[in-house]
Amino acid sequence: MIPISILIRLIQQTDILPYLSDMLSPIMQVVGLPAETALVWITALVVNIYGGLLSLFSIYPSLSAPLTTAQMTVLLTMILIAHTFPIELGIARKTGVKVIVSFCIRFGFGILAGFLLSQIYTLFHLLENPVGITNFFTAKDPSWQAWIFNELKNYGIIICVIFTLVSVVRILELSGLLQWLNKMMLPLLSWLGISQTMLPLTIIGLSMGIAYGGGLIIEEVKNPKVKAKDIFYAMTLMGLFHSIFEDTILMLSMGGHWSGVIVFRFVFAFAITFIIMRLTRNMPEDKFNKLFMTKQFCKHKLTQTQTTI
């Protein structure tokens, strides 16, 4: 996050931000956001959620008007769907899903989610009040000294936030509430076509994140009984909706509204996964593997089949 912070500062100092904003403005216009916020999402895509929030703090004073609660919710929901691509797309690839497929699902549906959510808020005139990012997170003094002090302060805040979120998740685990919520999702996951083998691993990914769930699925690929469709549906759902406790609490604390961060994201992720499942469940296995899975995965499964025979 530190190199990204320095890069954003240099972009601001060299007046490149307006140029970048103009290049990326068509995407952000689609979702009803100022062009400058494209830098926030890109940072979250390349680095992680916390890097995206740091860039938001950096550019917020340069916005012509404060974001409304609706706009902030749209931006944070898009970040929740698509972030940390270098790591998370790499994990998806190791499970057998093609990188380009994972990218298109998360990036493309991230834009679609932002567009739909923005249209809903606009149509019903919801959450039009401006969201206030306190001056505690932003620095009005343009000097480098003030900027360095403010960034160090924000890093400290993020460390405290991460510690708090990890503690909350741990408390949920110890209290049994996390396990209870996971059991509540079992029937819905089964309805989506996710196999019994993938169910517990998918739930771990949904609750704890792709690094956990995806890592377990990487090991499960060795099981000859696990099919490509089982893995693909599980990774699709996890890609669109994961780390539901830690990341959700973080975004709510940053000004996101529960209607988008929780309700809409939940419905959207399960609806998209269901549609993809319905469109592909009767597809021949060899064609499915060719379209969505890596060559290494196909070779591995072929070797497993030959060994079994």
CB proximity list for 218: less than 8 A, separation 6 or greater = 91, 94, 95
pLDDT at residue 228 in the model: 86
pLDDT at residue 210 in the model: 82
pLDDT at residue 60 in the model: 81
pLDDT at residue 141 in the model: 57
3-state secondary structure the chain: CHHHHHHHHHHHHCCCHHHHHHHHHHHHHHCCCCHHHHHHHHHHHHCCHHHHHHHHHHHHHHCCCCCEHHHHHHHHHHHHHCCCHHHHHHHHHHHCECHHHHHHHHHHHHHHHHHHHHHHHHHCCCCCCECCCCCCCCCCCCCHHHHHHHHHHHHHHHHHHHHHHHHHHHHHHHHCHHHHHHHHHHHHHHHCCCCCCCHHHHHHHHHHCHHHHHHHHHHHCCCCCCCHHHHHHHHHHHHHCCCCCHHHHHHHHCCCCHHHHHHHHHHHHHHHHHHHHHHHCCCCHHHHHHHHECHHHHHHHHHHHHHHC
pLDDT at residue 116 in the model: 97
pLDDT at residue 69 in the model: 94
Going residue by residue through the chain (309 aa), what tens digit of pLDDT does each one get?
677 667 767 766 666 656 666 777 788 889 999 988 888 888 888 878 888 888 888 788 778 888 999 999 999 999 999 998 888 898 899 989 999 999 999 999 999 999 999 999 999 999 999 887 655 445 555 666 776 777 777 777 777 777 776 777 677 667 776 667 667 777 777 777 777 777 777 777 777 778 777 777 787 777 777 788 888 998 999 999 988 888 888 898 888 999 999 999 999 999 999 999 999 989 998 899 999 999 888 887 667 665 555
pLDDT at residue 136 in the model: 44
pLDDT at residue 103 in the model: 95
